[in-house]
Amino acid sequence: MDSIWIKGGSTLKGDIPISGAKNAALTLIPCALLTEEKLTLANLPRLADVDSFGHLMNQLGVSTSVAGVKKGEFGRKVTFQASDISSTVAPYDMVRKMRASILVLGPMLARAGESTVSLPGGCAIGDRPIDLHLKALEAIGAEIELAAGYVKASAPKGRLTGGDYSFPVVSVGATENVLMAAVLANGRTQLFNAAREPEIVDLCNLLVAMGAKIEGIGSGHLIVDGVEGLHGTTYEVMPDRIEAGSYACAAGLTGGSINLIGARPDDMQATLNALAQAGLVIEFHEKGIRVSANGGLKPLALSTSPFPGFATDMQAQFMAMLCRAEGQSFLEETIFENRYMHVPELRRMGAEVEIHGRSAVVHGVPKLTGAQVMATDLRASMSLILAGLAAEGETEVLRVYHLDRGYERLEEKLSAVGATIERRSAG
């Protein structure tokens, strides 16, 4: 099994191109199920999760073709075509690998009038039930049955009716699923307290480009007027705001200066505000965002919350950075109940972190020391990479398959700005 080896202590300086967003890509790909015409997605990141989703789409009868890529280029251009949906069943062996697979439920139901998807398995960072997905789909006319570990959804007259639904709590995945279902419904759908994440906006923009009628994009109140059919289009996946924020933390931890090429300030305002409060200098320019260290790091008090709040997907990376801040920092995790599994590994590197339920107190330390550590989930993996970049000596991060789910060619990007980092294969 591969590991990432790092020799810490280098000051990182230079340009890092930001890849297409993983969380957006996994929402845009299932839109191909909504039309028999070709959907071409540009800037699609080369990630294990994206490949897994592509395999699921193939199993449902969707053809895929990948355009040639020039050497050194990031991202791919992939064309999906669901001329005919040959299967409306997403089996357990596919869904268990990636929870995002549940996002085929809505578009497959809208297009084929039925959809059967395995219930997702457990998740390392806590329980993420899909009851909101199902209740929202029921509100727009779906009949739902749970049997033998599968969700069986159907539209009684072959087509959803549309309807109103108010989310009791903000849910990104449920908002995405019901949006994709509603665009082909025979009527109007109103979603209240809908998620407002930039990835939701990206999804809405793609659906509109395919011929959907959606009002209120970017707000918590979405109005969808169903149409008879959608057409194909070519669309570019938005840049990954979490990847950009992760590399910004690398600049802070190593006392460096990194240009995040292609990053969009509007997508990551809460992250940028937190970086500035920690003492980093943020500059906007025509190619993206420059993040530069400016002396010692300042401690922070942060609480995760749905967009436009501070993203839960940035919590672990900020914790790693705040291990070197001058003073005590306070973190509160409000989204997932088990998202501090990186803490024992950071402690192996000399970090001083106390956990109190969903809160964490980070005591800044003069130095971190390299160690062998184990990744437990995607963002935890990145926090260990960041700590390794700043640590004295050598760090080896095990279980890097987590990293491959969400960071495109990480070693290549970090090496280009001065890091001593390489992937090593066991045996």
Q: What is the mean pLDDT of each run of 10 residues along the chain (427 residues)?
A: 95 98 97 98 94 94 87 85 94 82 96 92 52 95 92 93 96 97 98 98 98 98 98 98 98 98 97 98 97 96 96 96 98 84 96 95 98 92 97 96 92 98 87
225 is annotated as contributing to ligand binding? no
CA distances from 35 to 60, 85, 137, 284, 373 (A): 14, 10, 20, 39, 46
Dihedral (CA of 195, 200, 201, 204) sign: negative
23 is annotated as contributing to ligand binding? yes
Given 236, 253, 284, the domain boundary residue is: 236
- Provide the H-helix boundaries in 60-125: 92-95, 105-112
Do 261 and 232 contact (CB within 8 A), yes or no?
no
Do the bridges between strand 288-292 and strand 352-356 make them parallel or antiparallel, or are there none, so unpaired?
unpaired
404 is annotated as contributing to ligand binding? no
107 is annotated as contributing to ligand binding? no
Q: Give the pLDDT score at 121.
A: 57
301 and 330 both lie in a single domain? yes
313 is annotated as contributing to ligand binding? yes
Number of other residues whose CB lies within 10 A of the CB of residue 312: 18
CA distance 81 to 404: 26
131 is annotated as contributing to ligand binding? yes
CA distances from 131 to 99, 102, 147, 173, 177 (A): 14, 12, 14, 11, 12
155 and 10 both lie in a single domain? no
Task: Tell me the one-letter amino acid at 387.
Answer: A
168 is annotated as contributing to ligand binding? no
231 and 243 both lie in a single domain? no
Query: Is residue 302 helix, strand or coil?
Result: strand
Given 217, 236, 255, the domain boundary residue is: 236
Q: If we measure between CA atoms, which residue out of 180, 144, 154, 161 comes closest to residue 35?
A: 180
Phi and psi for 343 in degrees, rounded to 5? -60, -50
Spatial CB neighbours of 346, under 8 Å, sequence gap ≥ 6: 319, 320, 323, 353, 373, 383, 384, 387
379 and 255 both lie in a single domain? yes
**What order do you get walking across the sheet with 372-374 strand by strand?**
372-374, 394-398, 3-7, 420-424
- Say which residue the tokens 């402690």 belong to: 347
229 and 82 both lie in a single domain? yes
Given 184, 202, 236, the domain boundary residue is: 236
Instruction: Select which of 123, 204, 249, 323 is catalytic.
Output: 123
Query: How many distinct structural domains can be found in the chain?
Result: 2
CA distances from 388 to 181, 206, 327, 402 (A): 44, 38, 21, 16
Number of other residues whose CB lies within 10 A of the CB of residue 275: 25
CA distance 163 to 137: 9
CA distance 111 to 183: 10
192 and 299 both lie in a single domain? no
84 and 186 both lie in a single domain? yes
178 and 73 both lie in a single domain? yes
207 and 307 both lie in a single domain? no
298 is annotated as contributing to ligand binding? no
**Vertex 83: Cα angle to 77 and 85 (nearest 5):** 105
254 and 360 both lie in a single domain? yes
Q: Give the pLDDT score at 123.
A: 41
CA distances from 15 to 10, 75, 192, 320 (A): 15, 17, 40, 22
Q: Which two tokens stand for residue 264?
A: 């969009």
Q: Is 123 a catalytic residue?
A: yes
CA distance 352 to 233: 51
Q: Which domain holds residue 344?
A: 3-17+239-424
Q: Which two tokens stand for residue 383?
A: 């926090």
Spatial CB neighbours of 357, under 8 Å, sequence gap ≥ 6: none
DSSP class per residue in 3-66 = EEEEE--PPPEEEEEPPBPHHHHHHHGGGGGG-SSEEEEEEE---HHHHHHHHHHHHTT-EEEE
Query: Is residue 318 helix, strand or coil?
Result: helix
Do the bridges between strand 3-7 and strand 394-398 make them parallel or antiparallel, or are there none, so unpaired?
antiparallel
Task: Tell me the one-letter amino acid at 414.
Answer: L
Spatial CB neighbours of 30, under 8 Å, sequence gap ≥ 6: 53, 57, 103, 104, 106, 107, 108, 180
243 and 321 both lie in a single domain? yes
130 is annotated as contributing to ligand binding? yes
254 and 118 both lie in a single domain? no
Specify the CATH number for the domain of residue 271.
3.65.10.10
CA distance 258 to 252: 9
Q: What is the reported pTM?
A: 0.95
129 is annotated as contributing to ligand binding? yes
Do 218 and 196 contact (CB within 8 A), yes or no?
yes
